[in-house]
Structure formats: structure tokens, C-alpha cells
Amino acid sequence: MMLQQIEVPDSVKSIDYHDGAERVVDFANEAIEAFMLSDDIPIENFVTCDFHLLDQSLTWIEQQHLLAGNRFCEWGAGFGVGAMLAALHGMESVGIEIEPRLVKQANHVADSLAISAHVYGGSFVPRDVEGLEDFAGEIKNVDTDEGDIYDEIGFDIADFDLIFAFPWPGEHEFFEHIFAACASTGALLLTYRGREGMNLIRKC
């Protein structure tokens, strides 16, 4: 099993936003700001990716015909904006988020915008993946104690064609290890890497 790097060109940033994407991003950003201001106990692991770049990257992936199928999952979904944008792009889309307050907010935003992307409360980290224990000391921002949520969703990791995540710096390999162990051949893992932009790999 191999992971193939697929270069996402800088020109992705000049792709037009998908119809309705700016409305989703603006609405979600307002909801996120209001939540942050009203929340007494901050959620330290929650930071947002560049939603516009994510929307443009989804368009680029479609244009390049890289998708093996139509099913999308956002690992560590936060407000679920990635899952909502993927739904806007016509994908069958879910998110997984461990923090119940974020799950509630995400599904409220999706319902308000009438977007069919559901965020499930629980962990994206599957049980029984060999070698995950090797990362134990390095992983500070992913909850690795909870059981996973795939039974409730009704899909395994192997059923998703595109997975998106925003790992904290130094934690990318953990996400890639799970992807390599559990995804299907042909599936894609898109990760946001801050100033370095988007990173895309395919399982071969």
C-alpha cells in the first residue's frame, strides 16, 4: 500500500468560488465569532482552516477528475464548514467532531442553511489500528481515548472517497497513518497546512 502525493498548484487560489460557497462561509464565520465571544470555556483544539481555499480545492479536485466516488468526510469537523462545502459541491457529506458544543453548533448552521451535511458527535480515530500507539507521545490535539463513531454513521473509513482534515502542526503523520491503514484504494486525503496551503494524497 502506497500514498501518492498530488501537487495542488498555487493557481487553485484563482479558481472562482462555487455557487453559494461565500454565503456558507460568511454565515458560518459569523456563527463561529458569536460562539467564541459567548463561550466561557474556550475549546483549545478548535481553529478554523481557510474555508475559501478549501472550496477552491474541492473545485480543483473535481476539475482534475481525481475522485473515485462521491462520499466525503471531515475528520475533526469543528463547525462542519468543510462538510457543508462538500455537500454544496454535490457530495454525500458528513463530519465527525468530538466536542459536543461544536457538534450542536455545526448542525445548527447546516440546518439554518438547509445544507444536507450532518456532523456526528464522536471520534474519527478508529479502534484497533496497528501502530497508532507509536504516535502516543506526539499527539496532543486529537482525542485518542474515545471510541469511534463509524457504526452510527453507517459507513467505514473505507467507504469515503475524500477525507478532509486540519491537523495541528506535527500531527499530519497520525492522520496519514489512519488513512493509509483504513481508506480504500483510490481514496483521497486533503489536509490544510496553514501557510503551506493544501496537501493532497491518494492511496494507491
| Residue 37 identity (one-letter amino acid) | L
Number of residues that bind ligand SAM (CB under 6 A): 23
Report how far residue 49's alpha carbon sits from residue 20's, in angstroms, rounded to the nearest whole number.
18
Q: What cell was used for 193?
A: 497546512
Which one, 60 or 95, has the nearer CB to ligand SAM? 95
Taking alpha carbons only, the member of 199, 169, 166, 180 closest to residue 75 is 166
Q: Binding ligand SAM by CB under 6 A: which of 166, 174, 175, 179?
A: 166
Report how far residue 78's alpha carbon sits from residue 136's, in angstroms, rounded to the nearest whole number.
22
Report how far residue 122's alpha carbon sits from residue 103's, in angstroms, rounded to the nearest whole number.
9
User: Is residue 183 close enough to count as binding ligand SAM by CB under 6 A?
Assistant: no
Q: Binding ligand SAM by CB under 6 A: which of 8, 31, 73, 77?
A: 77
Report how far residue 148's alpha carbon sits from residue 124's, in angstroms, rounded to the nearest whole number.
6
Which one, 2 or 41, has the nearer CB to ligand SAM? 41
Taking alpha carbons only, the member of 28, 197, 183, 18 closest to residue 119 is 28
Contacts with ligand SAM in 41-60 (CB under 6 A)?
43, 45-49
Q: Binding ligand SAM by CB under 6 A: which of 86, 102, 106, 163?
A: 102
- Give the shortest CB-157-to-ligand SAM separation in angstroms: 12
Q: Binding ligand SAM by CB under 6 A: which of 24, 35, 82, 179?
A: 82
CB 149 within 8 A of CB 124: yes
Q: Binding ligand SAM by CB under 6 A: which of 67, 125, 189, 198?
A: 125
- The window from 8-16, 117-125, 132-140, 173-181 that contacts ligand SAM (CB under 6 A) reads 117-125
- 132 contact partners, CB below 8 Å, separation of at least 6: 125, 144, 174, 177, 178
Report how far residue 102's alpha carbon sits from residue 16's, in angstroms, rounded to the nearest whole number.
29
Which one, 41 or 204, has the nearer CB to ligand SAM? 41
- The window from 13-21, 40-48, 62-70, 109-117 that contacts ligand SAM (CB under 6 A) reads 40-48
User: Is residue 142 close enough to count as binding ligand SAM by CB under 6 A?
Assistant: yes
| Residue 183 identity (one-letter amino acid) | A
Give residues in contact with ligand SAM (CB under 6 A). Answer: 43, 45-49, 74, 76-78, 81-82, 96-99, 102, 123-125, 142-143, 166
